[in-house]
Amino acid sequence: MATPEKAAAVAELTDKFRSSNAAVLTEYRGLTVAQLKTLRRSLGENAQYAVVKNTLTKIAANEAGITLDDQLFAGPTAVAFVTGDPVESAKGLRDFAKDNPNLVIKGGVLDGKVMSADEIKKLADLESREVLLSKLAGAFKAKQSQAASVFQALPSKLVRTVDALRAKQDEQGGAE
């Protein structure tokens, strides 16, 4: 029978899995408390980094409807639960792991889809949501200005054509 503390921990982890956009599992063996504090700050405001028990985390993930590979639960595990932009947190983890090779990204979940460590690193290579949205807005604005210039060219071309026809008629009328 599970103890009330373990049941509460599973319930809390299940809630975090359900309410997060993403969850990244890492191995933190060999990191100091100061390094973990730095890591938590580098993840941004929309992420919580928590050291977890493997068995309880696996049970919580299953209860949240997420099936994770048993290999993700080998060794000491910590999970970054992301409620905001997952790209920002993935970049924070990747950059911290470059400087601190003791942090190993094992894998994770993004919007219910299980991801490998390589896929999380690819996610970190993406630009942030704000940058992508601004690029999209810029592309829309460029298309609108192109359309406006096309629409503006039609009447001016029509006016030039009418003027050319008048000039031609005046020439023909003056030649008679």
Question: What pLDDT was estimated at residue 143?
Answer: 73
Q: Does 176 have pLDDT greater than 60?
A: no
Answer whether CATH 3.90.1150.10 is correct for domain 4-126. no
Closest CA to 26 of 126, 94, 85: 94
Interatomic CA distance for residues 22 and 37, integer angstroms: 20
Beta-carbon contacts of 22 under 8 Å, excluding residues fewer than 6 positions away, are 80, 81, 82, 86, 89, 90, 108, 109, 110, 111
Domain residue extents for the chain: 4-126, 129-175
Q: Does 12 have pLDDT greater than 80?
A: yes
Can you spell out the DSSP letters for 77-138? EEEEEESS-HHHHHHHHHHHHHH-TT-EEEEEEETTEEEEHHHHHHHHHSPPHHHHHHHHHH
What pTM value is reported for the model? 0.67
Residue 99 exposed, middle or buried by CB count within 10 Å (0-12, 13-18, 19+) = exposed
Query: Which residues pair with residue 114 across a beta bridge?
Result: 109
Give the model's confidence band at 1: pLDDT under 50 very low, under 70 low, under 90 confident, else very high.
Answer: very low
Q: Are 85 and 47 in contact (CB under 8 A)?
A: no
Q: Does 135 have pLDDT greater than 50?
A: yes
Residue 169: how many other CB atoms lie within 10 Å: 10
Query: pLDDT (tens digit, 9 = 90+) per residue, 53-95?
Result: 988 999 998 888 888 888 888 889 899 999 888 888 888 888 8
Instruction: Give first-to-last CA distance, the chain, whole Å.
Output: 112
Residue labelled with tokens 């990244």: 24
Interatomic CA distance for residues 24 and 8, integer angstroms: 21
